[in-house]
Amino acid sequence: MNAAAPLQIEKPYLLYLGDVANDLYAKTAFGLRDWLPGACVGQFRRAGCVVDAQLPDMTPAEAVLAGAKTLVIGVASVGGGLPAVWIDDLAVAMRAGLHVASGMHQRLVDAPFLRELSQALGLHLHDVRHNGRTYPVATGKKRSGHRLLTVGTDCALGKKYTALALAREMQAQGLDADFRATGQTGILISGSGIPLDAVVVDFAAGAAECLSPANAPNHWDVIEGQGSLFHPGYAGVTLALVHGSQPDALVLCHDPTRHEIGGYPGFRIPSLEAAMASYLGAAQLTNPQARLLGVALNTSKLSATASLEVLAQTEQQLGLPCVDPIRTGVARLVTALKLAYGH
């Protein structure tokens, strides 16, 4: 068993930002904007929405005239539900002729109004987080091929971007590599994957095994990390992913400006040394040869000068290559991987 079949979602997209007030809840919109720029024609926001994906503001009707085929919910609500005002906006989009795609925990098809409207208009509702598949309990057995997993000190700090950048750079340098998506945004970007946080917990590690099946000896699966071992709410999905992916290499992702878990005051982010030790300890349960390849910092909140300084300081502190996937690229991590694994 391997990763889910490719998605059949029509592009281009209109990104729906709703009424959210925090960029942390707009990861899907930002991810699609950055990694599928040619497939995003604009954004649809409610009055007063302060989050901005830096795309043209459009009504659904205007987006259809610009070529859009599908409205993608680019934001998340607390708890993953669909607020009533969002449902009203989705209906407007559907009446304009747009299919709708969502990565929310609440299914679009479970909203009777939307389901009936889609049937009446002949449009599709895509629930990206729910693929209808079942997964086995993990075996822990070693699989051929290599795996790299991005992990983090917190949520929403660059694990997906780092994995995408690594897969692209590895391919550019002639390595046999694939990006493996584990969340709704990564799945929308790559076209396939397994939404790990929607899998029943007993089977999550098994799903991670299915995501990166046995492969050619020199093949690399670059696996998108989820959550954080240090997150009070989401550590479970992280541990399952670490065990099931059996990573040969780990890249630790961190935001140097963040000192507490986002949205959880009082829960301090550990030192990088402590985080590295925790992740290696977890990974070595199913792959005793797992190693920490390097660190990826999200320095977007720092000036260019401060970014270079913290990258250099962190590299000296840990004795590992340290990059910012956006500002410096990840070539040095790929060079370190090739040296470590003889490619």
Enclosing domain of residue 171: 146-341
66-118 pLDDT tens trace: 999 999 999 987 667 888 999 999 999 999 999 999 988 899 999 999 999 99
Contact 190, 181 (CB under 8 A): yes
Q: 237-253 burial string, b = 16+ CB within 10 Å, else e?
A: bbbbbbbbbbbbbbbbb
CA distance 23 to 37: 18
Put residue 217 in one of left, alpha, beta given phi > 0 → left and psi -120 to 50 → alpha: alpha
Mean pLDDT, to the nearest integer, of 162-179? 97
Structural domain includes residue 136: no
State the pLDDT confidence band at 132, using cuts at 50, 70 and 90: confident
Q: Are residues 38 and 155 in the same domain?
A: no
Type of residue found at 26: A
Report field, pTM of the whole predicted structure over 0.75: yes
Same domain for 185 and 294, yes or no, is yes
Domain total for the chain?
Answer: 2
Q: Given pLDDT bands bounded at 50, 70 and 90, which one contains residue 191?
A: confident
- Residue 202 makes CB contacts below 8 A (sequence gap 6+) with 137
Q: Domain containing 34 — which CATH number?
A: 3.40.50.720
Domain contains 87: yes
| Per-residue pLDDT tens over the stretch 280-338 | 999 999 999 999 999 999 999 999 999 999 999 999 999 999 999 999 999 999 999 99
Question: For the chain, what percent of residues have pLDDT higher than 90?
Answer: 85
CA atoms 168, 142, 228, 134: torsion sign: positive
Regarding whether 197 and 290 lie in a shared domain, the answer is yes
- Say which residue the tokens 């999200």 belong to: 298
* Structural domain ending residue among the three candidates 127, 158, 186: 127
7: pLDDT confidence band, cut at 50, 70 and 90? confident
Note whether 177 and 326 are same-domain residues. yes
Beta-bridge partners for 178: 221
What pLDDT, in 10s, does the model give residues 246-277?
Answer: 999 999 999 999 999 998 999 999 999 999 99
Asked if 66 and 58 count as a contact pair (C-beta separation under 8 A), the reply is yes
Mean pLDDT of 132-155: 96
CA gap 305, 308 in Å, rounded: 5
